[in-house]
């Protein structure tokens, strides 16, 4: 896309994210309609409603671009461009009335080798009225102001956020890393919203975020925002699963962190 088109895409994504965020804010303390539950997750009717609202607004601006979302796909998602959407990142928090959840929207472009790279990223927290944004070649911003990752270089000074699933396999793999880091960093945090964790790294509140089983819509926007804020985001697809291992950091402590194999 041309620079002018990226700007239009960013504007459309911000408007869509803030519209969905308004719906979230209005329903935080309302009784939630639950569509499905598992031992570690909840699917709300509002997830679907927020994604439908986002898709409607994005299609109004870019009618030919497909959408890959947590609540389903629309259009041919392997085309040149696609939106990647998490309508409510941190659904369990939101379902329990905890105001730590957000909307995440990314625009991705297919590269010559068939992979996709994010060119626009937006994360909106409706409960703090904060919107993190980035586009390719431009600095990351928070509510319009340029942001940078933290300058901390020593693990003992750092706050590291983690996330991991409840499966026995995931716990066996993740807990040793958690214990290793807990002995070396200032504080560990597990906040329950991957996209916000990445946004916090980008703005210097956290120094790193690690998880061994996220989905693309969890990290597509946040990864770009971190990189444009001067940080580093390492990802690796998990063979046989539609999940991704990830280590995101301020870049200065990246090589000191364990990879979540």
pLDDT number for residue 190: 94
Q: Do domains 3-146 and 155-256 have the same CATH topology?
A: no
pLDDT number for residue 166: 65
pLDDT number for residue 39: 66
Domains of the chain, by residue range, sit at 3-146, 155-256
Per DSSP, the residues of the chain read --HHHHHHHHHHHHHHHHHHHHHHHHHTTSPPPEEEE-SS-EEEHHHHHHHHHHHHHHHHH-TT-EEEETTEEES-TTSSEEEEEEEEETHHHHHTT-S--EEEEEEEEE-TTS-EEEEEEEEEETTTTEEEEEETTS--EETTEE--------GGG-EEEEE--SSHHHHHHHHHHHHHHHTTSSEEE--S-HHHHHHHHHTTS-SEEEEEEE-HHHHHHHHHHHHHTT-EEEEEEPTTSS-EEEEEE-SSSGGGSPP--
The secondary structure of residue 100, as a DSSP letter, is -
**CATH for the stretch 155-256:** 3.40.190.80
- Give every residue of the chain whose pLDDT is below 70, as ranges: 39, 165-167, 261
**CATH for the stretch 3-146:** 3.30.540.10
Which distant-in-sequence residues (6+ apart) come within 8 Å of 258 by Cβ?
177, 180, 181, 210
pLDDT number for residue 167: 67
pTM of structure: 0.95
d(CA 153, CA 3): 34
Centroid of chain to Cα 236: 16
Q: If you average pLDDT over every residue of the chain, what do you get?
A: 93
């Amino acid at each position: 896309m041309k620079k002018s088109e990226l700007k239009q895409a960013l504007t459309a994504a911000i408007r869509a994210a803030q519209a969905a965020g308004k719906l979230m804010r209005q329903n935080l303390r309302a009784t939630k309609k639950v569509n499905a539950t598992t031992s570690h997750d909840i699917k709300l009717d509002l997830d679907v409603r927020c994604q439908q609202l986002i898709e409607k607004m994005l299609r109004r601006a870019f009618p030919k671009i497909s959408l890959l979302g947590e609540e389903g796909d629309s259009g041919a998602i392997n085309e040149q461009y696609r939106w990647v959407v998490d309508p409510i990142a941190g659904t369990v928090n939101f379902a329990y009335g905890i105001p730590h959840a957000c909307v995440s929207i990314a625009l991705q472009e297919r590269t010559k080798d068939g992979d996709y790279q994010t060119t626009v990223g937006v994360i909106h927290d409706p409960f703090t009225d904060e919107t993190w944004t980035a586009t390719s070649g431009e600095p990351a911003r928070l509510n319009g102001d340029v942001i940078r990752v933290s300058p901390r270089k020593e693990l003992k000074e750092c706050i590291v956020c983690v996330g991991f699933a409840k499966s026995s396999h995931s716990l066996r793999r993740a807990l040793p890393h958690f214990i290793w880091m807990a002995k070396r960093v200032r504080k560990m945090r597990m906040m329950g919203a991957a996209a916000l964790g990445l946004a916090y790294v980008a703005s210097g509140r956290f120094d790193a975020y690690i998880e061994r089983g996220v989905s693309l819509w969890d990290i597509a926007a946040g990864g770009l925002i971190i990189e444009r804020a001067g940080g580093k985001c390492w990802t690796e697809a998990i063979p046989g699963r539609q999940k991704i291992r990830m280590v995101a950091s301020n870049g200065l402590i990246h090589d000191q962190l364990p990879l979540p194999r």
